[in-house]
Amino acid sequence: MSKEPQNTPATPKSGDRIAKVLARAGVASRREAERMIEAGRVSVNGKVITSPALNVTGKDRIIVDGKALADPEPARLWLYHKPTGLVTTARDEKGRETVFDALPEDMPRVMSVGRLDLNSEGLLLLTNDGEIKRKLELPSTGWVRKYRVRVKGEPTDDMIAPLRKGITLDGERFQPMTVSIDRQQGSNAWLTVALREGKNREIRRAMEAVGLTVNRLLRVSYGPFQLGTLKQGEVEEVRRRVLRDQLGLDGESETRTPVRRRKGKAAALTQKTDRAKERADARSGQSATKPAFKGKGSAKAGARPGTRPKGAPSGRPSGKPSAKSTAKPSAPRGSKR
């Protein structure tokens, strides 16, 4: 006779909730870890659990999908310049390439902080720690996300006034956005948009509601973390000191050297495509048209970015990211996703 799964193995009441421990170990976000537990994929001290209402300590033996849970690494955070054409998900049911497929081979298993949709680009934060992911994603933390947005049409202050007050679409309430009109460029206009929560396709849907169509959307900052001059497909680790200062992490020492900027597969593919286009233009005697943003990965829009904003977001993208590091990478543990 098979034994029924046990929900409450004998463990001390001290310690942390099992889902939190799994999240900190980089297995999944806390919510995803709870679903894994309910599906019977986790055991503690040899007994399958199906309820996340359990505290565990370092003395408990935790098995996930048949593999022992490794000791958690120190919390880490990376800046990644996501190109268009990649989906922000671990697995795509349509078989499309994901951001995790495009990361450098030696990246550890990471999770994205929020998402950027298929046709959006710019700063995407990656972390190996579920608690950091949760802290950065919660609307209550008030992290400002800033975007450079190109729209078709000639927007006016009267047109975008509803966005500054907040609108309701299909029963869903969008909080007020900070929107500034930067410049008109032919039949398009460049805007700077800042908001404190990131609902699905929020900017595109809000712009459409006031008669504007977004044809380019680039995130340039997420809270204090900035895209700066990071090029498409490049990844850069945030220094431990910055994590302590900005996220209030505990006083762990910087046990590993943060990595310098590295090019993922997406960056190499983009550069190869650009070189081929340049050769074709040279043969035909044509020069490539300069894009509105100088360079594939900079946060420029016809002018050099200024310094980091203080208080409310300004109308221009911020300067270089505070997370810049120059040390050589060390070999991280785990797989890339």
Region of 334 on the Ramachandran plot (φ > 0 left; ψ -120 to 50 alpha; else beta): left
Residue type, 276: A
Query: 202-209 vs 157-165: helix axis angle to the nearest 10?
Result: 130
Cβ atoms 226, 322 nearer than 8 A: yes
Pairing of strands 42-44, 55-56: unpaired
Q: How far apart (Å, rounded) are the C-alpha atoms in residues 63 and 69?
A: 6
Strands (E), 156-212: 167-169, 172-174, 178-185, 188-195
Burial of 263 (0-12, 13-18, 19+ CB in 10 A): middle
Q: Which residues pair with 79 in a beta bridge?
A: 125, 236
Structure tokens at 272: 């190869």
Q: Around Cβ 183, how many Cβ atoms within 10 Å?
A: 13
According to DSSP, residue 140 is labeled: G
Q: Which residues pair with 73 in a beta bridge?
A: none
**Residues found in the chain:** 337
Q: Say which of 16, 92, 101, 117 is annotated catalytic.
A: 117
- Strand, coil or helix: what is 39? coil
Does the annotation mark 117 as catalytic? yes
Q: How far apart (Å, rounded) are the C-alpha atoms in residues 200 and 207?
A: 13
Burial of 15 (0-12, 13-18, 19+ CB in 10 A): middle
Residue type, 172: E
Which residues are catalytically annotated?
117
